[in-house]
Amino acid sequence: MARIPYLPEDLSEPADVVAAIRARRGGSLLHLDRMLLHSPPLARGWNVFLGAVRTELSLNARLRELAMCTVAVLNGADYEFAQHAPLLAEAGASAAQVNALHAPHLAAMDEALFPPGERAALAVIIAMTREVKVDDRTMEELRAHLSDREVVELCAVTAAYNMVSRFLVATGIHARELEPGAPATSQG
């Protein structure tokens, strides 16, 4: 159960912020939104920032969702993983690949399940999440597979979803509270 009560699902104020969030979410508010809306300025900024991270970057959907799911597992954010695992599968990951992310360090070394570029991405995602610092060798391996723009965007997605997962965990938003029929494609 959430540590702070969710605002009501039929919340309508502040109208501009609620309308913008509902527009991005396909008309509904997720539990995450109903928590963020305790602070309208925070909810407004979050919506704009995470909307851009989710829909405006050139990083392919599979790497984006790989980062989101891996961060979720590393930080114990089951709500985030439950929202994004189906999107990772939709982006082409197999059920075995999605399941392998429950042990990210092993997944990063699994040559049978993940191609070299994804293993390099996993290594950077793990380093950023666990140690914050990424050593030169790990970053160079990633750069051998991605453009500079893609590396920057992968790092930004990883950083952004560390923020998301830490907010979810701190406020007590859990997967057992997933919204029935919530549009998982608009998480974040």
Q: Show Cβ contacts of residue 50 under 8 Å, excluding neighbours closer than 6 positions.
A: 160, 164, 188
Model confidence pLDDT, tens digit, residues 146-169: 999 999 999 999 999 999 999 999
pLDDT of 178 > 90? The answer is: no
Dihedral (CA of 22, 188, 80, 99) sign: positive
Q: Determine the Cα–Cα distance for residues 108 and 123; give it in Å rounded to an integer.
A: 6
Distance CA 123, CA 117 (A): 10
Mean pLDDT for all residues in the chain: 94
Structure-token pair, residue 171? 């406020």
Tell which residue, 55, 62, 50, 22, has the closest CA to residue 165: 50
**pLDDT band per the 50, 70, 90 thresholds, residue 117:** very high
Task: Tell me if 24 sits within 8 A of 17, measured CB to CB.
Answer: no
Q: Which of 145-149, 177-181, 184-188 reaches the highest mean pLDDT? A: 145-149
Domain with CATH 1.20.1290.10 in the chain: 61-171
Q: 115-147 burial, b for 16+ CB within 10 Å, e for fewer?
A: eeebbbbbbbbbbbbeeeebeeebbebbeebbe
CATH topology of domain 61-171: AhpD-like (1.20.1290)
